[in-house]
Chain A
Amino acid sequence: DAKTTQPNSMESNEEEPVHLPCNHSTISGTDYIHWYRQLPSQGPEYVIHGLTSNVNNRMASLAIAEDRKSSTLILHRATLRDAAVYYCILRDNNAGNMLTFGGGTRLMVKP
């Protein structure tokens, strides 16, 4: 699987937007971009995924660069419950089925 690069940690203030970046310069045409998050003492939780176009759901938005070499997960209004490790994952539609997690970004939200 192609690799992703994320900052180790980020801080945000409560009720402010958060932009979590992910670089994936070796992405292939069949790779989907997935985001999962893991709250303390919980299993990972699906957030959003996309291929080329920007995507929105009730949890977040995913902005994908035109060349697909980077993407940004956007939390529109951070809450204390959004404090978690966020993982950006590339998943090849033509290859194995597993999710390959990297180190992720630990998001801290300050009240």
Chain B
Amino acid sequence: GAGVSQSPRYKVAKRGQDVALRCDPISGHVSLFWYQQALGQGPEFLTYFQNEAQLDKSGLPSDRFFAERPEGSVSTLKIQRTQQEDSAVYLCASSSNFRGMNTEAFFGQGTRLTVV
């Protein structure tokens, strides 16, 4: 596909359940970002990868959140023991510049997570 692909589009999880959200970035894009967007708010940064290296994870809200990108392409955001406050849209973005600086970031459509 031509764009950033995220799956699933929608996920309903019971409180305490673990979830895994997948992001397929644009082929060849070095930089990959995860964001969390609560209802009615702007996206908030979670973590950043340059190839397979996780260079910034300052936005991860707790140690229940974990992200990986083992081969420098597909990335997975995992949330353990989900809580109701984790309900949000999770957005993935990629860009071509290795520092991701001042180049266009391409976003996926997001995964809407609802914890019940």
The interface of chain A, by Cβ under 8 A from chain B, is: 32, 34, 36, 41-46, 49, 85, 87, 91, 93, 96-104
User: How far, in Å, is B56 (CB) from chain A's closest CB?
Assistant: 6
B42 touches A104 (CB 8 A): yes
B31 touches A103 (CB 8 A): no
| One of B71-79, B80-88, B99-107 contacting the partner | B99-107
A43 touches B109 (CB 8 A): yes
Given known A-B contacts A44-B91, A104-B42, A97 and B56 have beta carbons under 8 A apart: yes
Residue in chain B with minimal CB distance to A49: B102
CA distance A101 to B41 in the complex (A): 9
CA distance A86 to B106 in the complex (A): 15
Question: Could you tell me the dominant secondary structure of chain A's interface residues?
Answer: loop
A-chain residues with CB within 8 Å of residue B102 when the two chains form the complex: 32, 34, 49, 91, 93
| One of B11-19, B43-51, B62-70 contacting the partner | B43-51
* B59: Cβ under 8 A from any A Cβ: yes
Which of B93, B104, B109 has a CB less than 8 Å from the CB of A41?
B109
User: How far, in Å, is B2 (CB) from chain A's closest CB?
Assistant: 14
Residue in chain B with minimal CB distance to A97: B100
CA distance A43 to B108 in the complex (A): 6
B106 touches A46 (CB 8 A): yes
User: How far, in Å, is B75 (CB) from chain A's closest CB?
Assistant: 15
Residue in chain A with minimal CB distance to B112: A41
